[in-house]
Amino acid sequence: MGNHTITSRTPGVFYHRPSPDADPYVTEGSSVAEGDTVGLVEVMKTFHEVKADAAGTVARFLVENEDEVTIGQDLVELET
């Protein structure tokens, strides 16, 4: 068991869900495979999916929904 952190590839605004009325992509305790979408970052009115770059279980979110994020910022911690 180890920990892995998913980081943001662009600056922007982080979202937990694909649209305001939709369910979140993942919640704490969700298991994810490599390549699964775990969030969304909006940059200049375009949306970029945040993909898990490892498999594991979502331990916790390191940013809140609609938080401003910088490039390289830690977003989601996985237990691998």
Partner 1 sequence: MTLRSVLVANRGEIALRVVRACRELGVRAVAVYSDADASAAHVRMADDAVHLGKSAASKSYLNEEAVLEAARSAGVDAIHPGYGFLSERPGFAAAVEEAGLVFVGPPSSVIATMGDKAAARAVARSAGVPVVPGSDEVSSADEAVAAAGEVGYPVLVKASAGGGGRGIRPAGSADELRTVVAEAQREAASAFGSDKVYLERALQGPKHVEVQVLADTHGTVVHCWERECSLQRRRQKILEEAPAPGLDPSVRSALCDAAARLAREVGYVGAGTVEFLVEGSGDAAEFFFIEMNTRIQVEHPVTEWVTGLDLVAEQLRIASGDPLSVAQDDIACRGASIEFRVNAEDPDQDFLPSPGTVEALELPGGPGVRVDTALMAGDAVPPFYDSLVAKLSVWAPTREQALARGRRALAEYRVDGLPTTIGLHRRLLDEPAVVDGGYDITTLETWLAGRSP
**Where on the chain is the footprint of partner 1 (CB under 8 A)?**
10-13, 42-46, 66, 68
Exposed (0-12), middle (13-18) or buried (19+): which is 20, by Cβ within 10 Å?
A: exposed
Least Å from the CB of residue 55 to partner 1? 27
Least Å from the CB of residue 66 to partner 1? 6
First and final CA of the chain: distance in angstroms?
6
Cβ atoms within 10 Å, residue 14? 22
Least Å from the CB of residue 53 to partner 1? 19
Residue 33 vs 46, nearer CB to partner 1? 46
Residue 4 vs 17, nearer CB to partner 1? 17
Q: Cα separation of 2 and 11, whole Å?
A: 27
